[in-house]
Amino acid sequence: MPERVRRLEETFERTPIYFVTSCTANRRQLLATSNVHGCFKAFSESAPRHGAWVVGAYVLMPDHLHLFVAIDDQRINLSDWMKSLKGVVSANLRAAKKQPPYWQKGFFDHVLRSSDSYAAKWNYVRENPVRAGLVSHWEEWPYLGQVDPLEYSSDRG
C-alpha cells in the first residue's frame, strides 16, 4: 500500500477553515439517524469547549459525513478534534446497541483558501443526498444544516 501523504504540521492562518470528510468502517450505514444527528449537533454547538472556534455547514450521510470547521490551532489540532467528535458519536452508537467498529481510520481534510472554495464545496456536498437517491431536493434531507455561520476571510486569525 502506498505511503499516505503527511498532514502539514502547521498552517499559515491561526484559525483555518477545514473541509472534512470522514467515513464509517466498511461504509456501514450508521450516521443518518435523528439520534446521531442530535449527538453531532450537540457536540458541534459546544465546539469552543473542544478547541474549535465554530462548526459551519455539515451533511450526515448514512456512511460518511462532511463538515466545515474552524480550528484554533493554538488549542488543538484537527486530528485531535476529529478524534473527540468520533469518540462522542461512537459513545452514542454504543448506547444505541450498535456493534463496533464505527469509523474508518483517519479522515480527509482540505484547508479552504477562498470564499469561492467554501461556496463551491458546500454547493457540491449538500447535493449528496440527491445524488444518492435519498431525496429529490437537498432541502428535504433532515441530516444537514449549519451550526453557526462560518465565512472565509483572508484576514482570519
Arithmetic mean of pLDDT, 1-20: 61
Choices 3.20.20.80, 3.40.50.300, 3.10.450.230, 3.30.70.1290: CATH for 17-146: 3.30.70.1290
Strand partners, 146: 57
Arithmetic mean of pLDDT, 132-141: 97
Name the more confident of 6 and 93.
93
Residue with cell 477553515: 17
pTM, two decimal places: 0.84
Note the pLDDT tens digit of each residue in 16-68. 889 999 999 999 999 999 999 999 999 998 877 766 778 899 999 999 999 99
Planar angle of CA 150, 148, 102, nearest 5 degrees? 100
The closest alpha carbon to 61, from 152, 145, 143, 121, belongs to 143
What percent of the chain lies above the pLDDT cut of 90? 62
Residue with cell 488543538: 76
pLDDT of res. 137: 97
Cβ within 8 Å of residue 59, ≥6 positions away: 65, 66, 67, 125, 126, 128, 129, 141, 143, 144
Strand partners, 19: 68, 110
